[in-house]
């Protein structure tokens, strides 16, 4: 398929079709995973489905908007977006403003809807990094010009996110930064210095919080505490294992019946595995793979360096979140409260990710 055939009316179907398919799958699985929970908690089995449908409509509107906003406009909005993101992250710590969930201040709430500022922070950082790296060009090899400024800006965001506390998101942003800087031309030895310098800090942050240590030990051997920290991952294993090849059928999951905690959010993939089986999980991975590979190709074929960096940064950001979520639910990584993009219940992640995909569609149409 050549470049002219891969788009129709300005929309890249190799991006659009996987995206719409994943959203549709998400709606079905969110309803299946949450209906009993919503009936028990709120007396309305459709509660989470209705809210997710609203998020989907809003997200699709944002995707269309992202598709039609000229990419050069983001260059002018780089610093206002950074400032807005920092302000929202700081506002979380204002008493009575930030909304506390599971001991962490990660949400701002208006009426019946919530917003997670860290999602906007990811987008702002992607736009900033693309703008800054494209402007610096060959200076990216310089320690003082290519590494330090980007490390300082991103580090400030990571610090605010760690204080929420949300170490997992901060680590994901840090890993993403290293990948983007490497592609941007920062010398490998400089990146290795950053990694080696960061490891003691990361270890200290883990050791000073008991729940992080417990998550680590649960990751090492969840069967030592099957009714405590190992409970969630064990029931994730049971969901995948009971699904078999074809699954138990839509709506027939047993683990969603108050065994697997919050099955419609971070641990939505095990419900896919239980109800749709290995085939359902494989199709989900295939859809994400097509989307991410196409995103990288869009970055390689972009019309200018700034657009190339922006497409790569957004694609890598989505890809890392997919990789970490799947790694967690399969027991390959310690437990981390991270949504599966486009599928898990939640408005902030869905809307921001769809806006990012809209930007990819825009860059694809101009290659």
Q: What is the pTM of this model?
A: 0.92
Cβ neighbours around 186 below 10 Å, total? 23
The Cα–Cα gap between 26 and 276 comes to: 13
CB 121 within 8 A of CB 350: no
Mean per-residue pLDDT for 236-243?
Answer: 90
Query: What residue spans of 229-267 are helical by DSSP H?
Result: 231-243
Q: What angle do CA 275, 279, 284 make, to 5 degrees?
A: 85
CB 329 within 8 A of CB 236: yes
- H or E segment to which residue 36 belongs: helix 13-42
Could you read off the pLDDT of 287-299 as tens digits, one per residue? 999 999 999 999 9
CB 26 within 8 A of CB 342: yes
The Cα–Cα gap between 265 and 257 comes to: 15
**How deeply is 59 buried, as exposed, middle or buried, from its count of CB atoms within 10 A (0-12, 13-18, 19+)?**
buried
pLDDT at 243: 87
Could you read off the pLDDT of 105-130 as tens digits, one per residue? 788 887 667 788 999 999 999 999 99
Could you read off the pLDDT of 24-54 as tens digits, one per residue? 999 999 999 999 889 988 888 899 999 999 9
**Mean of the per-residue pLDDT values for the chain?**
89
Mean per-residue pLDDT for 191-215?
Answer: 89
Could you read off the pLDDT of 300-318 as tens digits, one per residue? 999 899 999 999 999 999 9
């Amino acid at each position: 398929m050549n470049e002219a055939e891969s788009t129709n009316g300005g929309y890249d179907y190799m991006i659009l079709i996987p995206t719409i398919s994943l959203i549709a799958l998400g709606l079905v699985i969110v309803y299946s995973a949450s209906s009993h929970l919503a009936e028990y908690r709120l007396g309305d089995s459709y509660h989470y489905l209705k809210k997710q449908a609203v998020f989907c409509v809003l997200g699709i509107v944002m995707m269309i908007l992202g598709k039609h906003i000229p990419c050069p406009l983001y260059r002018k909005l780089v610093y206002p977006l950074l400032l807005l993101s920092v302000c929202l992250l700081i506002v979380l710590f204002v008493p009575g403003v930030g909304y506390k969930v599971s001991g962490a201040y990660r949400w701002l709430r208006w009426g019946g809807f919530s917003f997670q500022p860290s999602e906007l922070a990811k987008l702002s950082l992607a736009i900033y990094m693309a703008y800054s790296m494209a402007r610096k060009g060959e200076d990216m090899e310089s320690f003082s010009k290519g590494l330090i400024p980007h490390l300082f800006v991103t580090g400030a965001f990571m610090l605010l996110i760690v204080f929420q506390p949300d170490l997992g998101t901060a680590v994901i942003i840090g890993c993403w930064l290293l990948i983007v800087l490497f592609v941007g031309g920062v010398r490998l030895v400089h990146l290795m210095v950053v990694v080696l310098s960061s490891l003691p800090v990361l270890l200290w942050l883990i050791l000073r919080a008991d729940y992080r240590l417990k998550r680590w030990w649960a990751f090492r051997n969840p069967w030592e505490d099957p009714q405590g920290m190992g409970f969630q991952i064990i029931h994730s294993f049971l969901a995948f294992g009971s699904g078999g090849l074809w699954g138990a059928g839509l709506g027939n999951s047993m683990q969603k019946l108050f065994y697997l905690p919050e099955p419609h959010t971070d641990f939505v993939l095990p419900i896919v595995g239980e109800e749709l089986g290995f085939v359902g999980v494989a199709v989900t991975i295939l859809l994400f793979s097509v989307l991410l590979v196409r995103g990288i190709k869009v970055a390689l074929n972009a019309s200018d360096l700034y657009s190339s960096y922006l497409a790569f940064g957004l694609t890598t950001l989505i890809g890392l979140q997919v990789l970490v979520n799947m790694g967690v639910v399969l027991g390959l990584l310690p437990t981390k409260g991270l949504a599966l993009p486009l599928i898990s219940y939640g408005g902030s992640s869905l809307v921001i990710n769809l806006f990012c995909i809209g930007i990819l569609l825009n860059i694809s149409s101009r290659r």
